[in-house]
Amino acid sequence: MNGFLDLKNFLDAKVEQYNTPNFIANDPICIPHLFSKKQDIEIMGFFAAVLAWGQRITIINSCKKLITLMDNAPHDFIKNHQEIDLKPFLGFVHRTFNDTDLLYFMAFLKSYYANNQSLENAFAKHISKTDTTIEHALIGFHHTFFDLPDFPNRTRKHIATPERKSACKRLNMYLRWMVRNDKKGVDFGLWNSILPSQLICPCDLHVERVAQKLLLISTKNLGWKTALELTQNLRKLDANDPVKYDFALFGLGIENKF
């Protein structure tokens, strides 16, 4: 790249190339796109993001299994299920996410939706418009999520937090889905309490590799500081919507075109 403007023009063009409905079918975001009800979208978006590691087809199949277990109506099932209805969930496994984790997720969501209309507030209540990033939202959500008594300690690893210096890739991806509202048909833009400018770029191995080559990050340590550094540099390209460049970096990485 020959300077800032070349880099911006290059990445803007790649955002336009990859940020289209054609992106959806082979990505975990296809799972929440199966629904139209807000709560169904955010619940299955949450599961799709949490399970988003490994081969994408395996992630998608695991999520479709969950949808079937929830009678194809996640919000209704979460709110109204009885303990006996959870028996078919026993034996569920996706990588290291197992039925112990899943049953706690179900317990949290049932408790949460008994008193809240949307999962948005579980994140948004922890930050204000003056926060420059969603760091406090992620930390606060982690504490909110594990606020039920007798949660399984093993389940903590499935909800990342900056307090453990994690890059929080999956939760950052989930918040991108829920918050960004560019009318391109991929991200949902359902939540208004968090600003797109506050989002942090999801940072996985594909994104990290491309970001290294473009000199957008200076370290190979995939932690919270790296995610902050990457996003800060992306803000120089678009201060209001830095995370749109996730499409460009991930698209280039997954297709090995850069």
Q: Which residue has the higher pLDDT, 3 or 149?
A: 149
| Higher-pLDDT residue of 3, 126 | 126
DSSP 109: H
pLDDT range class, residue 206, cuts 50, 70, 90: confident
Residues 156-196: tens digit of each pLDDT: 999 999 999 999 999 999 999 999 999 999 999 999 999 99
Q: What's the predicted TM-score (pTM) here?
A: 0.95
Number of domains in the chain: 1
Q: Give the CA diameter of the chain.
A: 62
Q: Render pLDDT for 78-125 as a digit per residue (tens, 0 to 9).
A: 999 999 999 999 999 999 999 999 999 999 999 999 999 999 999 999
The per-residue pLDDT for range 209-221, each reduced to its tens digit, is 999 999 999 977 8
The distance from CA 111 to its chain's CA centroid, rounded to whole angstroms, is 21
Nearest in space to 216 (alpha carbons), one of 202, 228, 234: 234
- pLDDT bin (cut points 50, 70, 90) of residue 258 is low
Model pLDDT, residue 106 = 98
Percent of the chain with pLDDT over 70: 98
pLDDT at 229 over 80: yes
Query: Is 60 exceeded by the pLDDT of residue 225?
Result: yes
Query: If pLDDT is split at 50, 70 and 90, which confidence band does 222 have?
Result: confident
Instruction: Give me the mean pLDDT over the 199-216 stretch.
Output: 93
What is the per-residue pLDDT across 137-154, written as a single tens digit (0 to 9) for each? 999 999 999 999 989 999
Determine the structural domain holding residue 123 and report its residue range: 4-254
pLDDT at 243: 98
Query: Predicted confidence band at 230 (pLDDT cuts at 50, 70, 90)?
Result: very high
Report whether 162 contacts 168 (CB < 8 A). Answer: yes
pLDDT score of 2: 56
Contacts of 71 (CB under 8 A, 6+ apart): 77
Burial of 5 (0-12, 13-18, 19+ CB in 10 A): exposed
Close Cβ partners of 2 (under 8 Å, ≥ 6 residues apart)? none
How much is the pLDDT for 240? 97
Q: What is the mean pLDDT of the chain?
A: 95
